[in-house]
């Protein structure tokens, strides 16, 4: 019997979920799906400057899991950029964290859990 998969902790759901080439509006554009947990790995490592070990601790998974997700996410991003494909962020095996770490932009900016804080 396989071990149950661990749900990855993310600080919040991305505000923008669909990206693509604006000069290529044909309806046959292939859509690549980046999961929310893959998005979180890219956000933490590339935008926030976390090391893989710090990212793994924050997400509640092993460093090797973060490394696999990071490689997969980078391949998807490169495919979209180079080949003009649409990128959609959705799905994945995650849970939105209720812990405010104070170390990332989601937590510091008051956008924890549910996107931007409304006025």
- Alpha helices in the chain, H assignment, sequence order: 36-42, 52-59, 63-83, 105-108
Interacting residues of 33 by C-beta distance below 8 A, sequence separation 6+: 76, 88, 89, 90, 91
Architecture of the 31-90 domain = Orthogonal Bundle (1.10)
Buried b (16+ CB within 10 A) or exposed e, 77-99: beebeeeebebebeebebeebee
- Summarised one tens digit per residue, pLDDT across range 33-76 is 999 999 999 999 999 999 999 999 999 999 999 999 999 999 99
Identify the CA nearest to 48 among candidates 61, 58, 60: 58
What's the whole-number mean pLDDT along residues 97-101? 70
Domain ranges of the chain: 31-90
């Amino acid at each position: 019997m396989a071990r149950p998969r661990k749900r990855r902790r993310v600080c919040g759901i991305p505000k923008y979920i669909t990206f693509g080439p604006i000069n290529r509006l044909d309806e046959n554009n292939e859509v690549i799906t980046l999961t929310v947990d893959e998005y979180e790995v890219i956000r933490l490592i590339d935008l926030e400057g976390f090391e893989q070990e710090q990212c793994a601790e924050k997400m509640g998974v092993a460093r090797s899991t973060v490394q696999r997700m990071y490689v997969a996410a980078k391949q998807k991003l490169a495919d979209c950029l180079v080949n003009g494909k649409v990128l959609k962020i959705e799905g994945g095996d995650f849970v939105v964290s209720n812990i405010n770490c104070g170390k990332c932009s989601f937590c510091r900016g008051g956008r924890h859990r549910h996107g931007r804080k409304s006025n």
